[in-house]
Amino acid sequence: MVRSRLAPIAVVLASIALASPSAPAQDAPKPAATPAEAERPAQAKAGATSAPKASTGVGRQSILALFSRSNPMLWLLGICSVVVVGYTLERLIALRRGRVMPRDFVNRFLERLSTGKLDRERALELCRSNESASARIFGHAVRCWGQPAAVIRQAVDHDAAREVLDLRRNVRVLNGTATLAPLLGLLGTVIGMIQSFDAIGGRIGGAKSEALAQGISLALVSTALGLAIAVVSVTAYYYLLNRVDLLVRDLDDQVRRVVDLVSAEALRPAERRVDHARIESRAHPL
């Protein structure tokens, strides 16, 4: 009788126990994490920290940082650029028209020579007092005072060739740098490529491709720098050559005027007699 009465109560208690919520998860013991699952959070954190950082390009680096790379051709290209700038500025100053052909001196000399105010000695003294290419060439013509025009022109052409060479003295250096700079740039690129492939030998994955791209970009800097120096050198070379040609043409025109004024055909008979008398007095002094 007692068991038959307790049976319904047991059934009710069992149904209540099945319907009640399970115990909280934090009270239950956690299973141990596997090594692969333990490495995943660390890799995720490393990727999250490294993702915002982008590799800086060559344009963002300073010139000193760029030259500190182990490419010796960059230093040689830097020397070439200094040579190009230095010789270009030197020739621009030396080939100024006011320095080669001072307008005041040329106009005064031709005016006084055409009006007969200058003789041979005074003309030579005036040429020596001026330090210019035109004064030195005029002096060569004046030294042949009284001789035929053909003889004077031949002597002036021979002596003026030195002045023309002096005007073109340092222009050839720019032609040399225009040829040398691209070759140094290509050699620097080859050296940089060799260094890049050598540096990525021990790397794997994304680090390998990133290092290769950065090394190639740095290697191509030498080629770009060499081509830039060559462009500047060629431009300065032909510009200075054109200036020299214009100056030589103007000098030739002025020298022809001087030759026509001091030649035997242009001298007046009285002046020729005076010059002959001076020569006789020097040859037979009292």
Domain layout of the chain by residue ranges: 63-267
pTM of the entire predicted model: 0.64
In this structure, the dihedral spanned by the alpha carbons of residues 184, 190, 191 and 195, taken in order and rounded to 10 degrees, is 160
Cβ(159)–Cβ(127) below 8 Å? no
DSSP one-letter string for 72-106:
THHHHHHHHHHHHHHHHHHHHHHT-HHHHS-HHHH
Dihedral over Cα of 217, 213, 69, 180: its sign: negative
Give residue 214's pLDDT: 73
Cβ(161)–Cβ(252) below 8 Å? no
Give residue 210's pLDDT: 72
Backbone φ/ψ region at 148: left (φ over 0), alpha (ψ -120 to 50), beta:
beta
**What is the block-wise mean pLDDT of the chain (286 residues), using blocks of 10 residues?**
46 45 44 47 44 45 53 84 94 91 90 85 89 89 86 86 87 92 90 76 64 76 91 95 92 89 68 50 50
Give residue 114's pLDDT: 84
Give residue 155's pLDDT: 86
Please state, in angstroms and rounded to a whole number, the distance separating the CA atoms of residues 171 and 88: 8
- Greatest pairwise CA separation for the chain in angstroms: 183
What ranges in the chain are assigned the alpha helix state H? 2-19, 35-50, 63-67, 73-94, 97-100, 103-114, 120-128, 133-142, 149-167, 171-199, 206-262, 269-283
Alpha-carbon distances of 64 from 21, 77, 78, 85, rounded to whole Å: 71, 14, 11, 19
